[in-house]
Amino acid sequence: MEMDQEQEKGKILDLDGNQVEDGVSEENTNENLAAELTSEELLEQQVKDQEEKFLRLVAEMDNLRKRHEKQLSDMQKFAVEKVMKEVLPVLDSFEQALGTTDSAESEFHKGMFLVREQLLQCLQRNGLQQMESIGKPFDPNFHQAIKTTSVEDSDEEVVLTEFQKGYTLSGRLIRAAMVEVSSGS
């Protein structure tokens, strides 16, 4: 009887209660454990992949939002650009008229000067800025050279004369200044 009990202890039953041989049972158990681990690892990997995908989508949405805000901001800043470009010749006409008036003390001259200043202030409140060019180094990004003059003792190109003023709108060039530039000897 003791032997039967010892044999009973060594017997392994499957889920249905059937006796299974020891070696086969351990193999099946190991395979099941390996399959479960593989299944768990697979699920963990899928969760990690989904988390990464989610984080990428969140970052992409954030970038999209920032890009949209910048585009909207730029549209607001530069919505008046077309109007500004059309008003610049009027401002140039004021400059020419003020430069050719015989008497700088005449009431007409004073009135023209005040109207020009009022127009310029209105444009500046909307982001227009005049560029100062005379005496500054020539920059092809902001200046259009229409004349060069040879100047001794000058190594760099410097703006000597400004024929037409240049303007920027909220930091972006809308018209380059037409200038005379020195050329080194």
Per-residue pLDDT of the chain (185 residues; tens, 9 = 90+): 444 544 455 555 555 666 655 544 455 566 665 666 677 888 888 999 999 999 999 999 999 999 999 999 888 877 888 888 999 999 998 888 887 766 667 888 888 889 999 999 999 998 899 999 998 999 999 999 998 888 877 668 889 999 999 999 988 899 999 999 988 65
Long-range CB pairs of 109-117 (<8 Å, 24+ gap) are 116/91
Same structural domain, 71 and 28: yes
Coil, strand, or helix at residue 9? helix
Is-contact 20 13, C-beta < 8 A?
yes
Q: And the tokens for 44?
A: 């963990």
The pTM of this model reads 0.59
pLDDT at 33: 59
Angle at 87 between CA 85 and CA 90, to 5 degrees: 130
Looking at the domain assignment, is residue 20 inside a domain?
A: yes
Same structural domain, 39 and 72: yes
Same structural domain, 49 and 59: yes
Same structural domain, 122 and 85: yes
Q: And the tokens for 92?
A: 């140039």
Residue from 129, 109, 138 nearest 169 by CA: 129
Same structural domain, 41 and 94: no
pLDDT at 171: 87
Same structural domain, 184 and 142: yes
Is-contact 160 170, C-beta < 8 A?
no
CB-based burial, 78-104: b 16+ in 10 Å, e otherwise: eebeeebeebbeebeebeeeeeeeeee
In degrees and rounded to multiples of 5, residue 138 shows phi and psi of -65, 130
Looking at the domain assignment, is residue 147 inside a domain?
A: yes
Is-contact 180 150, C-beta < 8 A?
no
Looking at the domain assignment, is residue 2 inside a domain?
A: no
Looking at the domain assignment, is residue 1 inside a domain?
A: no
Domain that residue 132 falls in: 128-185
Looking at the domain assignment, is residue 3 inside a domain?
A: no
User: Cα–Cα distances in Å, from 142 out to 40, 93, 131, 163?
Assistant: 64, 21, 8, 14
Question: Where a domain ends, among 106, 126, 146?
Answer: 126
Same structural domain, 180 and 142: yes
Looking at the domain assignment, is residue 7 inside a domain?
A: no
Looking at the domain assignment, is residue 55 inside a domain?
A: yes
User: Structural domain tally of the chain?
Assistant: 3
Same structural domain, 20 and 68: yes
Looking at the domain assignment, is residue 8 inside a domain?
A: no
Sign of the Cα torsion 25, 26, 31, 37 reads positive
